[in-house]
Structure 1
Amino acid sequence: MLRLSSLYRFPMKSATGESLRRAKLDALGLEGDRRWMLVDAENGRFLTQRAFSRMSQLSARWNESGGLTLSTEGMPTLQVPLPEPDANLRGAFVWGASMFVPDAGDEAADWLSSFIGKACRLVHVPEHRARDIPGSLLPEEKVGFADGFPLLLIGQASLEDLGQRVGRPLEMLRFRPNLVVEGSEAYAEDGWKRIRIGGIEFSVAKGCSRCILTTIDPATGERSADREPLTTLKTYREREGEVYFGQNLINRGTGVLEVGMEVEVLE
């Protein structure tokens, strides 16, 4: 039997993730997932571990009010309240998409600018300001600050197979999935089109293309000198210049997910 073995939420894009036993699904994926983001203070372009690996050491925890708790070694903890959804709007750019989203204020910006060593702003995306999923023709298909889709799924067996090929165990958090499924063969998720978990259906949209971020150790923030696991992935998971690992999902309903739930492959 296939089952949901892990749930992860990443409240701020490119900051640390949190392991959950239970999570709600809303119109943008897991409630509180990738609803906050750092942007360049000058041009609004999003900032990630790709350029600022130090962000891997930034704890950003979502709370029930929708606000954020920021903490890291050597700095005081900061509580960031949820900003008003239609006030203090700032232009933000995620890949090719532009958005106008509320700014979280000067205190958060100063704290985070000091942390990463660059002038930045913290922004939040309320549901009604989410952007269209790339390539979608359905107006109800929206995404927050995730790269392209609301959810990412990886099979546990796929990670274990990759670790064997690399020659050392790999942390699942390198790949930043929301859902981990166990009980399937390695890369079985590549062939799924529709699945159901806990009565909620999901469409499997496309494979997830991977980048240099996977070479950053989530525990230390250091890049792998041998560029693993990206180097190994390129030897057998590359198509048309992109390296794929994991599958992007769109949830077709809302509700609650819990670790241990059965995963049904519908198509």
Structure 2
Amino acid sequence: MLRLSALYRYPLKSGKVDVLQSVDLDKLGLDGDRRWMLVDEASGRFLTQRAEAKMSQLSALWNAQGGLTLRAPEQSAIDIALPGDDAELRGVTIWRDTLRVPDAGDEAARWVSDFIGKPTRLVQVPLDRARSTQSGFGKDDDQVAFADGFPLLLIGEASLQDLAQKVGRPLEMLRFRPNLVIEGSEAYAEDGWKRIRIGDVEFRIVKSCSRCILTTIDPQTGERSADREPLATLQKYRAQADGAMFGQNLVNDSNGRLEVGMSVEVLE
């Protein structure tokens, strides 16, 4: 039987994980997932572990009011409120998308600038300012917050085990930053799924996930692997035109609640 074995949320894009036992969904995926982002103050361009590996050590816990508590080594924790309707809007760029979103204010900016080591701003995306998902996939009205292209990412436990065997050492699932982890399937079974149901929520699988250098960063230490693993192995046997594929991007077609342990039904 297929089962939802883990739920992961990343309140701040490229920040540390929030491990969940249950969570609600809205139109942008898991409630509170990647609704916040760091951007370069001058350019408005988004920052991630790809260029700022230390972000793997930045903890951002989401609260029910939509705010954040940020923690990092050698810095005092800070509570940041959800920006109000009168918050300054800041122009930001994430990949090819440009949008205007609320800025979290100067106190938050000083904290994240001290952490990053250069002028940085913290921004948040409300539902009514979300981006469209990657063009050419899914439906025209599919939307996403600050995730790279789609609201959700799913990986099967057996797929990770297969990759780890090929690499020759254990691998942490969090290198791949999924939201949903499924147990009970064969390795890469998720590649062939088109629709699934978990609880009362149906999901569409819209695109395989192309992996990048982020997978080579140890989620515990923030250090990059000298041998470029597991990306190097993925590129040998999972390469497609768009890159080395691992995991599947999803869109939820309704709101609802997920809990670890729920059964997973493949509809198509």
Q: TM-score, normalised by structure 2?
A: 0.98
Aligned to 1:250: 251
In structure 1, stretches of 5+ residues that fail to align are none
Asked if the contact 2:138–2:206 (Cα under 8 Å) also holds between the matched residues in 1, the reply is no
Aligned to 1:13: 13
SS in 2 for 1:202: strand
Q: C-alpha displacement at 1:141, in angstroms?
A: 1.2
Aligned to 2:105: 105
Q: Find the aligned partners of 1:137 and 1:209 in 2 and give their Cα distance.
A: 16
Asked if the contact 1:56–1:221 (Cα under 8 Å) also holds between the matched residues in 2, the reply is yes
Identity %: 65
Aligned to 1:200: 201
Q: TM-score, normalised by structure 1?
A: 0.98
SS in 1 for 2:161: helix
Aligned to 1:123: 123
Calculate the aligned-residue CA RMSD, in Å.
1.0
Counterpart amino acid of residue 208 in structure 2: G
SS in 2 for 1:261: coil
Counterpart amino acid of residue 32 in structure 1: G
Asked if the contact 1:154–1:181 (Cα under 8 Å) also holds between the matched residues in 2, the reply is yes
Q: Find the aligned partners of 2:92 and 2:183 in 1 and give their Cα distance.
A: 37
Asked if the contact 2:8–2:179 (Cα under 8 Å) also holds between the matched residues in 1, the reply is yes
Q: Find the aligned partners of 1:198 and 1:140 in 2 and give their Cα distance.
A: 23
Aligned to 1:224: 225
Q: Find the aligned partners of 2:150 and 2:215 in 1 and give their Cα distance.
A: 18
Q: Find the aligned partners of 1:175 and 1:254 in 2 and give their Cα distance.
A: 25
Does residue 56 (structure 1) correspond to residue 56 (structure 2)? The answer is yes
Q: Find the aligned partners of 2:119 and 2:138 in 1 and give their Cα distance.
A: 36
Q: C-alpha displacement at 1:138, in angstroms?
A: 4.2
State the aligned residue count.
Answer: 267
Aligned to 1:148: 149
Q: C-alpha displacement at 1:62, in angstroms?
A: 0.3
Q: C-alpha displacement at 1:140, in angstroms?
A: 3.0
Q: C-alpha displacement at 1:86, in angstroms?
A: 5.6
Q: How does 1:234-245 map to 2 (within 5 A)?
A: 234-245=235-246
Q: C-alpha displacement at 1:139, in angstroms?
A: 4.8
Asked if the contact 1:86–1:101 (Cα under 8 Å) also holds between the matched residues in 2, the reply is no
Q: Find the aligned partners of 2:143 and 2:49 in 1 and give their Cα distance.
A: 24
